[in-house]
Amino acid sequence: MKIAFCASEAVPFAKTGGLADVAGALPLALEDAGQEAIVIMPGYEVVRRSSFVVRRLKENISYSVIGKNIKVYFIENDKYFGRGGLYGAKSGDYPDNLERFSYYCRRALELLKEINFRADIVHVNDWQTALIPVYLKSVHSQDAFFKDTRTVLTIHNIGYQGLFPREEFPKTGLDWGLFNIDGLEFYGKINILKGGIEFCDIITTVSPTYASQIQTAELGFGLEGVLEKRSARLFGILNGLDYSVWDPAVDKMIAKDYSIRSLGDKYINKEDLQKTCGLRPDKEAMLAGVVTRLAEQKGLDILAPAIGNMCKMGLQLVILGTGDLKYHRLLQKAAKKYPGLISLNLKFDNKLAHRIYAGSDLFLMPSQYEPCGLGQMISLRFGTIPLVFKTGGLADTVNNDNGFVFVKYSRQDLIAGVKIAAAAFRDKTGWRARMERAMRCDFSWENAANAYLKVYEKALSS
């Protein structure tokens, strides 16, 4: 099968979140499964400045190679992508995002023709690439080149839909006839993700529980009706984890490698983390890690006010994250109040993230909603026990055997969960057994790729 994977970010070239991990790993797993895949993404400034080998194909198109022979094509355009951020700056989203990603989507389809890649499947991801199925079924509906091409849209987070004022519709280059209730119109605005959902052949999202949740008013963010209408074509496939990147047995970024057979060495990482973060080196003190975007979705509204209670329990906390200034301030206040117990790192730092996953005992991930979540899967592999709210992918990966799950979204229930974890931590034998169960969990991309292949086949037979 020929698969063109379109995403607005992909590891190792550009990353702001979990989408990049998926876009970097799924094509590799598809290649391992014998399929022919390419990736198409914007040629941001970070790509141009990176040390990766990037070759020029033609004017405004360059490419790199990942895996055995997967070409990653970069669509360049100084005006749209020659800037510091992917989607915005500190002050907020770039005001021309509709123009930027409409351009990307149009160019991606032209590129397929230019390189003569007759894709069986064009797999698009989130709103930034969601115009591709719309263009295929409108502008290109009579185009023989795409006659046998089918589209799959994966929703990584339905909270981000690409909403724009109706006046901007001409920027998409689409006929106004598509600005209606069965197309891209959404309460008088343009909703790009809605267009993708309406026009693609198959919709997937990144965990089975989230696939059900987005069809409800509580978590559908207004698109529940549109999704329900297409529910026969909607599937939940749990993301895999790239174990070549996330494996404590071969991790170059941590103080000491360890595996299930050398769990004692995990404590070398704990001590190293405590020392570098200015916390008291103490094997017996429970060390909780947080690596996250500082956003309401990630549960900061219950986590930030619970920090005082955790510190009073004697917990040590290492927090790594950036995001809403509101949470920067709240956390700074807590860190000031409990010096020596909290290490606050308000930045994006991949190396520190690895060291937190390796050195912590507990990993806190109380997301309000979580399409799939990588943090809990990473922490499981590192034997760092996740404590999660029962939602989305967290509900599909963490249970009370390999972690701790609380079922009512509240600060009190989070604190109660931490108390249960702290009591379990004191039982050394029980804790070790839990770590082993966590490390044995297998969320490999191989399983995910096989599930995607089945979905691609469904799309092809439609």
3-state secondary structure of 403: coil
Nearer to ligand ADP, 33 or 245 (CB): 245
Q: How far is CA 250 from CA 242, 257, 303, 351, in A?
A: 13, 6, 32, 14
User: Cβ of residue 348: shortest distance to ligand ADP, in angstroms?
Assistant: 4
Nearer to ligand ADP, 97 or 292 (CB): 292
Closest C-alpha among 451, 310, 439, 295 to residue 370: 295
User: Cβ of residue 380: shortest distance to ligand ADP, in angstroms?
Assistant: 12
Q: Which residue is associated with the tokens 């990307």?
A: 104
Tokens of 187: 């309460």
Distance CA 242, CA 212 (A): 25
User: Cβ of residue 28: shortest distance to ligand ADP, in angstroms?
Assistant: 16
Q: How far is CA 241 from CA 184, 218, 285, 340, 364, in A?
A: 33, 28, 29, 33, 18
Phi, psi (rounded to 5 degrees) for 309:
-60, -40
How buried is 411 (Cβ within 10 angstroms: 0-12 exposed, 13-18 middle, 19+ buried)?
Answer: middle
Nearer to ligand ADP, 42 or 183 (CB): 42
Do 15 and 42 touch, CB atoms closer than 8 A?
Answer: no
DSSP state of 338: S
User: Cβ of residue 375: shortest distance to ligand ADP, in angstroms?
Assistant: 4
Closest C-alpha among 27, 260, 191, 248 to residue 122: 27
Which residue is closest to ligand ADP by CB? 18
Count, residues in the chain: 462
Nearer to ligand ADP, 293 or 326 (CB): 293
Nearer to ligand ADP, 36 or 296 (CB): 296
Closest C-alpha among 349, 166, 355, 215 to residue 273: 355
Nearer to ligand ADP, 271 or 349 (CB): 349
User: Cβ of residue 1: shortest distance to ligand ADP, in angstroms?
Assistant: 26
Q: How many CB atoms lie within 10 A of CB 77?
A: 14
User: Cβ of residue 75: shortest distance to ligand ADP, in angstroms?
Assistant: 23
Nearer to ligand ADP, 47 or 320 (CB): 320
Note the helical H segments in 215-349. 224-229, 266-276, 300-303, 307-312, 325-337
Distance CA 367, CA 369 (A): 5
User: Cβ of residue 170: shortest distance to ligand ADP, in angstroms?
Assistant: 32
3-state secondary structure of 46: helix
Nearer to ligand ADP, 50 or 322 (CB): 322
Nearer to ligand ADP, 373 or 403 (CB): 373
Q: Which amino acid is at 68?
A: K
User: Cβ of residue 106: shortest distance to ligand ADP, in angstroms?
Assistant: 27
Nearer to ligand ADP, 321 or 359 (CB): 321
User: Cβ of residue 19: shortest distance to ligand ADP, in angstroms?
Assistant: 6
Closest C-alpha among 264, 260, 235, 238 to residue 249: 260
Nearer to ligand ADP, 132 or 290 (CB): 290
Do 348 and 133 touch, CB atoms closer than 8 A?
Answer: no
User: Cβ of residue 21: shortest distance to ligand ADP, in angstroms?
Assistant: 6
Dihedral sign (CA 414, 326, 346, 158): positive
User: Cβ of residue 48: shortest distance to ligand ADP, in angstroms?
Assistant: 22
Residues at the site binding ligand ADP, with contacts judged by CB under 6 A: 17-18, 21, 291-293, 320-322, 348-350, 353, 372-375
